[in-house]
Structure 1
Amino acid sequence: MPSLAESGGREGSGQLSAPRLRPGTPERAGLDPDELAHLVREFHRLTDGDRPWAAGAVLVAGRGPVIAVEEAAGWAVRYAAYDEATGTGVQLPRRDRVPMTAHTAFDLASLTKLFTSVAAVQQLERGTLGIDARVGAYLPDFTAAAEYGITVRHLLTHTSGLRPELPLYDCPDDRARRALLRAEEPVTAPGGAYGYSDLNMLLLQHVLERLTRRPLDVLVRDGITRPLGMTATGFGPCPDAAATEDQRRPWAKADRGMLRGEVHDENAWALGGVAGHAGLFSTAGDLAVFCRTLLAGGSYGTARILGPDYVELLLSPPGLGFALDQPWFMGDLAGHGAAGHTGFTGTSLVLDPSTDTFLVLLANTVHPRRGPADNGPRAAAATRLARAVRGVSGAGA
């Protein structure tokens, strides 16, 4: 087992401790209480009705070290199945449903990419990984990546030219999956246009594991979640998590039935549940700690997972793993360096260094079946938080 310093996390490094999160009032957080009241009302409407935006959701928002909003709504488990004939979910009797709580864990889906990115930047800080080093230097057996000169920077910025995904879930075994990934050639020239791809984080996972000789779940645990006290965060299974999808073809890529506590992403499932692009489970409270750590320059309490310069590198344009200033889910928080990500299952987080605010909105929008993404509620919630900052600032606070 590596020490915290070896894996990236550090404790007792001689610096002043960073304040830990604590619950408080909007006023103590420096936020407009009226705007936050609107935010809470709008949040609870998201799970109302026969066809809600999500079966259930959890919201945590704050500024500085103060959590000003922590709310849960709806159901962690509402449906037994999806009925193709009616196009609706088969609802469980109320007595058999599982209510959502503020401590419910969620399948994070692509929010996992943020943790893989932090694990990579930890290796940059240690000097064991070069951001412009070629992937082939670490993975010479990944012949296509080596031939086309794909670099670590290309993976972290989604400019590798690789297509969005591969059907690893259709491969008969791990050897076939690995062979498919090794041979995958970019469809556009590396270093060119942005092209979001799960394959970037899968290759980055292989780089990190080859470099450190430790699996990704250990790197994330020892370098990020354990030093930060994020005890509810880890790769699955997670039996008490919010349910996701009645996963069946043709709308899904595998026939697995109603999922709860097993990773939703089909490729992550095929890879055993630990993947660079998906597989983590967590709670809104734990993710608030993650956001606060980055807003505080990489420290939380007495723990430090990154130095301030490397947090700045992580969150500077174009962003390493993080999306920057995207109004489609960040609303009016976007525009001054806000960073975050969304996940296919209905998860999202935003942190805004310019206002020292954070917003975590977790929902099981794919329960009982996936559909077209509606990011309007995410953007609206972020806009309410931005207005809460302006409302106080406008009053001269």
Structure 2
Amino acid sequence: MWTDRLVSGVRALPDGRPAWCAGAVVIAGRGPVVAAEAAAGWAVRYRAYDPVADRGVDLPRDLWERMRVGTVFDLASLTKLFTALATLQQAECGRLALDEEVRSRLPAFAPGITVRQLLTHTSGLRPELPLYERRGRAAQLELLWDQAAAPDGRPGSGHRYSDLNLIALQLLLEQCTGQRLDVLVREGITGPLGMRSTSFGPLAPQGVAATEDQRRPWAKADRGMVRGEVHDENAWALGGVAGHAGLFSTAQDLAVLCRTLLNGGAYGAARILRPATVAALLEPPGLGFAVDQPYFMGELAGRGAAGHTGFTGTSLVLDRVTDTFLVLLANTVPPRRRDGGSAPRAAAATCLARAASRRR
């Protein structure tokens, strides 16, 4: 069966040569039904990274922790999806408009940059800034204001993926609601949907997958082995709550989010968005979601599949045509970050695509 192939493929990821990840969790389903669910490898294994030997230094064997379906992951850029959802919720409430200029609320922004452009990564802002090099929120945001006043690219001229877009959305949301992003996400998304394992950190380490022995020169900060605190250096510098990174969650909770979106914004008695808003969220070019990206969606791409990836190894994809979803959370950065590519993500998505196509 396809579920056996999907599960066996994911279980092989931590043991490959070279291994793609330390551990992984996969959940796939159709509509309200979970068809496949599995965990493999280790949530915690390494004490540190040895740059001379170019390998991880293992903890004592009795301190290794197996990956479980309920293991909590640093979602990295999957956080962006929640910021996008919160933005659209405020648009539904009339507190902001997608085509309004950002400078109407954040005066440092140059003319012509709209909320929609932040969501679609067409604002012209550069991919990132070294906020982690500055102490204090005011000094950190000064870097953003300088870029916002004179973006590297012309607003609306083309797609340029940028963490700064989502940090700007966070600031805009906080300005127009008077609430922090973590409160908006909890009260508007995770609370109503019963996603009890989803929150911003820091978290107690038990049950959380470790990420990286974060040290220069391969990283941007010297923090040692990171676990329960956000891996992204800029999100960490911003206090752990940021529009582009900082959320932690489980595959089970993310499956609930996927079901909600496939169902037009409702899950059980809870509704977080209207069906028309969900359609706009997921249709090209996607409002916060990537659409039809074969590098991680495999053969699900090409028919309107939407999803996102995260630097730590996280990803989700959903396909409204076949009413299917795939959540693959892998811990690809321990003991130190490397570019392992997205081939395993694409292979898992292709497995689901072929199975769903046969059952249509």
Q: Tell me which interval the TM-score lies in, with the shorter structure as reference length.
A: over 0.9
1:73 equivalenced with 2:40 (yes/no): yes
Q: Give me the whole-angstrom Cα distance separating, in 2, the residues matched to 1:180 and 1:336.
A: 39
Instruction: Name which of 181, 199, 224 aligns with 1:234.
Output: 199
| Amino acid aligned to 1:232 | S
Q: Answer whether contact 2:322 2:357 (CA < 8 A) is retained.
A: no
1:268 alignment counterpart: 235
- Residues 17-59 of structure 1, C-alpha deviation per residue, up to 9 Å, x if partnerless? xxxxxxxxxxxxxxxxx12211111111001157411101100
- Residues 268-292 of structure 1, C-alpha deviation per residue, up to 9 Å, x if partnerless? 0000000000000000000000010
Instruction: Name which of 22, 38, 59 aligns with 2:26.
Output: 59
1:105 alignment counterpart: 72
1:222 equivalenced with 2:193 (yes/no): no
- Residues 208-258 of structure 1, C-alpha deviation per residue, up to 9 Å, x if partnerless? 000000000000000000000000000001223100000000000000000
Displaced runs of 4 or more, over 3 A: none
1:322 alignment counterpart: 289
1:116 equivalenced with 2:83 (yes/no): yes
Q: Give me the whole-angstrom Cα distance separating, in 2, the residues matched to 1:204 and 1:230.
A: 23
1:188 equivalenced with 2:153 (yes/no): yes
- Residues 173-223 of structure 1, C-alpha deviation per residue, up to 9 Å, x if partnerless? 221112111121211100011000000000000000000000000000000
| Amino acid aligned to 2:129 | L
After superposition, the Cα gap between the structure-2 partners of 1:194 and 1:244, relative to the gap in structure 1 and judged at 3 Å, is same
Q: CA deviation at 1:392?
A: 2.7
| Amino acid aligned to 1:374 | G
| Amino acid aligned to 1:190 | P
Instruction: Name which of 200, 205, 212 aligns with 1:245.
Output: 212
Q: CA deviation at 1:91?
A: 1.6
- Residues 160-180 of structure 1, C-alpha deviation per residue, up to 9 Å, x if partnerless? 011100000001222111211
Q: Give me the whole-angstrom Cα distance separating, in 1, the residues matched to 2:125 and 2:152.
A: 6
| Amino acid aligned to 2:197 | A
- Stretch of structure 1 that moved more, 171-180 or 226-235: 171-180
1:350 alignment counterpart: 317
Q: CA deviation at 1:359?
A: 0.2
Q: Give me the whole-angstrom Cα distance separating, in 1, the residues matched to 2:41 and 2:27.
A: 15
Q: Give me the whole-angstrom Cα distance separating, in 1, the residues matched to 2:281 and 2:105.
A: 21
SS of the residue corresponding to residue 219 of structure 1 reads helix
Q: CA deviation at 1:341?
A: 0.2
- Residues 107-165 of structure 1, C-alpha deviation per residue, up to 9 Å, x if partnerless? 0000000000000001111111111101010112xx2x2x3321101100000011100
Instruction: Name which of 166, 173, 176 aligns with 1:211.
Output: 176
| Amino acid aligned to 1:226 | G
1:160 alignment counterpart: 123
SS of the residue corresponding to residue 244 of structure 1 reads coil
Q: When the two structures are superposed, what TM-score results if normalisation uses the length of structure 1?
A: 0.88
SS of the residue corresponding to residue 196 of structure 2 reads coil
| Structure 2 unaligned spans of 5+ | none
Q: CA deviation at 1:348?
A: 0.2
Q: CA deviation at 1:391?
A: 2.7
- Residues 1-25 of structure 1, C-alpha deviation per residue, up to 9 Å, x if partnerless? xxxxxxxxxxxxxxxxxxxxxxxxx
Query: Considering only aligned residues, what root-mean-square deviation do their CA atoms show, in Å?
Result: 1.0
Q: When the two structures are superposed, what TM-score results if normalisation uses the length of structure 2?
A: 0.97
Instruction: Name which of 329, 341, 354 aligns with 1:362.
Output: 329
Aligned-pair identity in percent equals: 65
SS of the residue corresponding to residue 47 of structure 1 reads helix
SS of the residue corresponding to residue 129 of structure 1 reads coil
Alignment of 1:233-312 (within 5 A): 233-238=198-203, 239-240=205-206, 241-312=208-279
2:141 alignment counterpart: 178
